[in-house]
Amino acid sequence: MYIVPESAIADILTRPDAFDAVEKVFAAMSAGDAYNFPVIREAIGHEEALYGFKGGFDGVGKSLGLKAGGYWPHNLEKRGIINHQSTVFLFDPDTGKVAAMVGGNLLTALRTAAASSVSIKHLARKDAKVMGMIGAGHQAKFQLRHALETHNFEKVIGWNYHPEMLPSLAEVAAEFDLPFEAASLKGMVEADVVISMTSSFNPIFGAAHISDGTHIACMGTDTVGKQECDTDLIVKATIFTDEVAQSVTLGETQHAVAAGLKSRDDIFELGAVINGTHAGRKSENEITLFDGTGVGLQDLAVSASIVEIAKAKGIGMEVDF
Ligand code: NAD
């Protein structure tokens, strides 16, 4: 078994590597070559932690395995370690023997940022100039950095429920020599691309806050009950997702589908756009919305890439297991 510890991931995984791995696995999922297993997520009744497993099998990339982990809300205050904790295990699909153990924390941040960026590449207007952020927490900075690397924006605007956190977005914009402005939610109409990355359980924005022609990546909703955007926007926009089954159960479309406002047949896989079996954006005025729920295959694809690079660079260790 090959072990790549969390401390080594930053030296191994580049943003382009994460982007390529996620783009390829979305395409494989849509082609029917890869599938995710049902997600398990449990409140374990200890430390208020949410713990679970996301797994899958990619028959083309030959990744089989799972990510185990979750969210421990008191880690930072009590122990000085981050609240999201996860580890990926890869198995040899020919034998079932464990093949690798990979630190999953930074990997999760990078694969999630890659997902919204892949959606921007395939669904945003090519002339998009203003990047709008809703959310300014740990993950929002990763989403913004990856988006600014994917597309040439001219300005970043941002809104956050806790406005004192907005300087972290301004710092990322400055890394790209771009101006940053704090915006009201109504001010989001200026954005050509919006990424929402919050832990909200109630709609924050809706159709009134989004201009025609905008591409939105809703990335925060990954659990039953969460919600970032109002159902009026879900109804108005053309919806794409990483996986339809997750989108309608624990993703951003769960509320509109439960209310009968949207059918699962109206939700398309981003992988189909990547594969060319869905045309993607049809007009300059269309609002496209990517519901990024986060699938296990993203973790496996990025982990497989990490193991390959780690072996080539001599980072990590082989143990007889
Ligand atoms: P974080 O705790 O660092 O940040 C939370 C963000 O949500 C902050 O911007 C905060 O101001 C905002 N917020 C908190 N309460 C709010 C409210 N009531 N209304 C509106 N905004 C509110 O968390 P993070 O690591 O940035 O993760 C954000 C969310 O993304 C989490 O809910 C996490 O589960 C989810 N997530 C999704 C994926 C995926 O693949 N889709 C991956 C990782 C994390």
The reply to whether 119 falls in a domain is: no
- Residue 94, exposed/middle/buried by CB under 10 A (0-12, 13-18, 19+)? exposed
Q: Confirm or reject: Cβ of 105 under 6 Å from ligand 1.
A: no
Mean pLDDT throughout 161-177?
Answer: 98
Q: List all residues 6 or more positions away from 12 whose beta carbon is below 8 Å from its beta carbon.
A: 4, 306, 309, 310, 313, 315
ipTM above 0.95, yes or no: yes
Q: Residue 80 falls within a domain, yes or no?
A: yes
In a domain, residue 114? The reply is no
222 and 79 part of one domain: no
123-159 pLDDT, tens digit per residue, is 999 999 999 999 999 999 999 999 999 999 999 999 9
Q: Does residue 118 form part of some domain?
A: no
**289 and 305 within one domain:** no
Q: CA-CA distance, 272 to 107, in Å (whole number)? A: 25
Q: How much distance in Å is there from the Cα of 221 to the middle of ligand 1?
A: 8
In a mutational test of the pocket of ligand 1, which residue from 199, 254, 291 has the highest number of ligand atoms less than 8 Å from its CB? 199
Q: Is 199 in the pocket of ligand 1 (CB under 6 A)?
A: yes
| Cα(133) to centroid(ligand 1), Å | 12
CA torsion, points 122, 204, 250, 86, in degrees to nearest 10? 80
The count of residues in the chain is 321
**Ligand 1 near 140 CB (within 6 A):** yes
CA-closest candidate to residue 116, choices 61, 179, 193, 55: 193
Residues 181 and 210 in one domain: yes
Cβ of 196 less than 6 Å from ligand 1: no
Give Cα separations from 98 to 61, 63, 89, 93 (angstroms): 16, 11, 7, 9
**Is residue 223 very low, low, confident or very high in pLDDT (cuts 50, 70, 90)?**
confident
Nearest atom (ligand 1) to Cα of 140:
26
Domain annotation covers residue 179: yes
Q: Is the pLDDT of residue 95 over 90?
A: yes
Residue 5 exposed, middle or buried by CB count within 10 Å (0-12, 13-18, 19+): middle
SS3 state of residue 291:
strand
pLDDT tens for each residue of 21-54: 999 999 999 999 999 999 998 999 999 999 999 9
End-to-end Cα, the chain, rounded Å: 6
- Asked if 267 and 192 sit in the same domain, the reply is yes
State the distance from the centre of ligand 1 to the C-alpha of 228, rounded, in angstroms.
Answer: 10
Q: Concatenated DSSP letters for 18-40? A: HHHHHHHHHHHHHTTSEEEPPPE
**The model scores a pTM over 0.90:** yes
Whether residue 61 has pLDDT greater than 90: no
Encoded amino acid at 314, one letter: G
Which range of residues forms the domain containing residue 310? Answer: 2-108+297-318
For a substitution probing ligand 1, which of 85, 133, 164, 198 has the most ligand atoms within 8 Å of its CB? Answer: 198
Q: Say if CB 106 and CB 13 are below 8 A apart.
A: yes
Domains identified in the chain, total number: 2
Confidence band, pLDDT 50/70/90 cuts, at residue 301: very high
Q: Do 301 and 286 fall within a single domain? A: no
The reply to whether 266 and 311 lie within a common domain is no
The rounded percent of the chain whose pLDDT value lies above 70 is 100
Whether 67 is catalytic is yes
Are residue 288 and residue 304 in the same domain, yes or no? Answer: no
* Interval between CA 99 and ligand 1 midpoint (Å): 32
Please give the number of the atom of ligand 1 that sits closest to the Cα of 162: 11
Are residues 234 and 161 located together in one domain of the fold? yes
List the catalytic residue out of 24, 54, 67, 141.
67
Q: Tell me, yes or no, whether 276 and 174 share the same domain.
A: yes
Q: What is the pLDDT of residue 103?
A: 98
Residue 33, domain CATH: 3.30.1780.10
Among residues 104, 50, 40, the alpha carbon closest in space to that of 75 is found at 50
Residues 16, 128 within the same domain: no
Q: Ligand 1: does its nearest atom lie under 6 Å from the Cβ of 136? A: yes
Letter string b/e over residues 188-208, b meaning 16 or more CB atoms within 10 A of that residue's CB = bbebbbbbbbbebeebbbbee
265 and 164 together in one domain: yes
Verify whether ligand 1 is closer than 6 Å to residue 250 (CB atom).
Answer: no
Co-location of 267 and 309 in the same domain = no
User: What span, in angstroms and rounded, lies between the C-alpha atoms of 12 and 313?
Assistant: 8
105-118 pLDDT, tens per residue?
999 999 999 999 99
Domain containing residue 226: CATH number: 3.40.50.720
How many angstroms does the Cα of residue 139 sit away from the middle of ligand 1? Answer: 7
Asked whether residue 115 is assigned to any structural domain, the reply reads: no
Residue 10 in domain? yes
Compute, in angstroms, the gap from residue 223 CA to the centroid of ligand 1. 11
Q: Which two tokens stand for residue 46?
A: 């200890």
70 C-beta closer than 6 A to ligand 1 = no
Q: Is the CB of 253 under 6 A from ligand 1?
A: no
Residue 194, in any domain of the structure:
yes
**Per-residue pLDDT at 41:** 87
